[in-house]
Chains A and B, each alone.
Chain A
């Protein structure tokens, strides 16, 4: 026990990292379920429905499938790089999530904030450093597969990533100018406060152009539709991950979703106030929103269990109902209620962004590669630069001052 009190930083950090890894891996799995359900409903069908109630056990089935598939290695490939590439992609994607604050730093255990793993002074810059290393996973995977189509897909995909990285970074500099700091907590703290006591002072309001540039560059950076030509199935077989099977392919998949989560978290922190709530502080009823929301979800699941499910699906959905009702009741306990506000609003905003990602995927067609590159260099980069110059001019002439 003295070990825990003598080394609080180490112990609390290890616990936080373990919890975050567990939560992120589960979120990755259920993000695939979410995407399949939403895309299916956009396309007027139901998506996974039979594996578990409402298809909720589908990610588990997919995971088992990936584990048991045959693990092929192309014969003439470079073994070391072939195995390294998916590990690199997944490791970098998961490392980026460690920099993100999920709640206010005031909630502490043993003197360490429990919702923030690392609180760097240059947090934003380091996040971009880690995402810029993500190009290697793709390029090395394409090269080591010893396959023309993989190489082409890998080269195209990495060229796309490095092109849109410039616009991504530039569209964020306006926010840094407004906040005056690169530290995530200070950027969020600068967004507290309300215009006319009603509308929150989030950076999306003064930096709307920056936000639109950011979200476009982010979709391109994570290789999602409409920018996923390098891995589109009708174009280049499967692009850079053609020759990967079973668990290595699952790692690429997970890395792509983890990148999506990172970029959505970054969008909420920079433009939408992070873990701040959208309602003014005077409205004290907002403290009941997490608990009430979860209880409503539980009631809907209960209704669905009773009316629509049969057999084992009924049992599974009962478990989900009890889980939702239990969590809702937990959030209404007066001790827990103020603690859960930060992470709840953060998660809600990230979920909205992920829904937007999946919505765009289900709706838009794909860019052609030359259209994609000319869009990135000839439209997005000048617009981001213009946004930066205008924000800087706004500053110099004294119309906006940061705190």
Chain B
């Protein structure tokens, strides 16, 4: 049980626990906090996978800005306790286990493909973390057009949010 395996299981448990709390919580603010926990544990998993830059970006953008936006909207709209209705008993008691078995079958057949097994067991994995320098070389040379396109996308999003949120005078 190396340290990495322990860290992986701890973060995986936190992530799955957070997702379950997201489903089961009665108030949206608790679901938002659970989602923040999921994102932070995923950031630690990215660190374990040797991607420190992406871990930092995940915390700064996802956990530190997007979720703040969610929390603000929940506070603004004063989203209170959710009412519960049951769609149908079939969905809960037969649907979820059946979906689980479907996933197990897909995983089983994925493992039994040869290329999949080799990749899944870590053949060809590099030994050191991805440095910011090589990542930025890729981002600014090969993927320059998508980078600039996303900047325009963000501008459009800002304009859209401004127009939508403006009160009718």
Residues on A close to B: CB < 8 A? 78, 80-81, 84, 120-122, 125-126, 128-130, 132-133, 135-136, 139-140, 142-143, 151, 154-155, 158-159, 162, 182
Contacts and interface: CB of A to CB of B under 8 A. Distances in A.
Given A121-B132, A122-B53, A139 B64 contact: no
Contact of A135 (B29, B30, B59, B68): B68
Among A126, A142, A154, A159, chain B packs the most CB atoms within 10 A around the CB of A126
B60 interface: yes
B72 interface: yes
Interface in B50-68: 52-53, 56, 59-60, 63-65, 68
Interface string B134-167: 0000000000000000000000000000000000
Contacts of B64: 129, 132-133, 135
A289 to B, nearest CB: 37
Given A122-B56, A132-B59, A155 B72 contact: yes
Contacts of A142: 75
B71 interface: yes
Interface of B is mostly: helix
B38 to A, nearest CB: 14
B82 to A, nearest CB: 15
B32 to A, nearest CB: 10
Given A122-B53, A162-B68, 15 more contacts: A78-B29, A81-B33, A120-B52, A121-B129, A121-B132, A122-B56, A125-B56, A129-B60, A130-B59, A132-B65, A133-B63, A136-B36, A136-B71, A140-B33, A162-B65
7 contacts: A121-B52, A122-B53, A128-B60, A129-B59, A136-B36, A139-B68, A143-B29
Nearest to B53: A122
Contacts of A151: 75
A158 B68 CA distance: 9
Contacts of A121: 52, 129, 131-132
Contacts of A126: 56
Q: Which of the listed residues A122, A128, A130 has the most CB atoms from chain B within 10 Å of its own CB?
A: A122
Nearest to A126: B56
Contacts of B131: 121
A136 B68 contact: yes
A81 B29 contact: yes
A120 B52 CA distance: 9
A162 B27 CA distance: 25
B158 to A, nearest CB: 12
Contact of B132 (A78, A155, A182): A182
Contacts of A182: 132
Contacts of A158: 68, 72
Contact of A139 (B27, B53, B75): B75
Nearest to B40: A133
A125 B36 contact: no
Interface in B5-57: 27, 29-30, 33, 36, 52-53, 56
10 smallest beta-carbon distances between A and B, as pairs: A132-B64, A129-B59, A125-B56, A129-B60, A129-B56, A143-B75, A132-B60, A122-B52, A133-B64, A135-B68
Contacts of A132: 59-60, 64-65
Contacts of A129: 56, 59-60, 64
Contacts of A136: 36, 68, 71
A194 B68 CA distance: 44
A130 B63 CA distance: 10
Interface centre among B30, B59, B60, B129 (most CB of A within 10 A): B60
B75 A155 contact: yes
Contacts of A130: 59
A126 B65 CA distance: 15
A139 B73 CA distance: 12
B71 A139 contact: yes
Nearest to A158: B68
Nearest to A131: B64
Interface centre among A81, A125, A128, A151 (most CB of B within 10 A): A125
Contacts of B72: 139, 155, 158-159
A302 B137 CA distance: 61
Interface string B71-101: 1100110000000000000000000000000
Contacts of A162: 65, 68
Given A81-B33, A136-B36, A139-B75, A125 B68 contact: no
Nearest to A84: B33
Nearest to B61: A132
Most B CB within 10 A of own CB, among A120, A129, A158: A129
Contacts of B56: 122, 125-126, 128-129
A80 B21 CA distance: 14
Contacts of B36: 136
A87 B71 CA distance: 18
Most B-side CB within 10 Å, residue of A78, A136, A158: A136
Contact of A122 (B29, B33, B68, B132): B132
Nearest to A134: B64
A120 B55 CA distance: 13
A82 B125 CA distance: 45
A78 B29 CA distance: 10
Contacts of B75: 139, 142-143, 151, 154-155
